[in-house]
Amino acid sequence: MATSHRFVFSSDNLPKQKAKQLFKTFPFLKLSTAQEATARALGYSSWYECIHQGAKGEQSPSDQDAGIPTRVARYYHQANTLTTFGITPFEADLWVRAWGLTGHPTFPPEQARPLYYKWREVLDQVNRGECVFQ
The answer to whether residue 114 is domain-embedded is: yes
Check pLDDT > 50 for residue 1.
no
The answer to whether residue 74 is domain-embedded is: yes
Check pLDDT > 70 for residue 131.
yes
Q: What is the pLDDT of residue 2?
A: 39
Parent domain of 70: 3-127
The answer to whether residue 134 is domain-embedded is: no
DSSP 48-73: HHHHHHTTSSSPPPPHHHH-HHHHHH
Q: What pLDDT digit, counting tens, does each position of 44-55 carry?
A: 999 999 999 998
The answer to whether residue 8 is domain-embedded is: yes
Q: Specify the number of domains making up the chain.
A: 1
Check pLDDT > 90 for residue 36.
yes
The answer to whether residue 108 is domain-embedded is: yes
The answer to whether residue 12 is domain-embedded is: yes
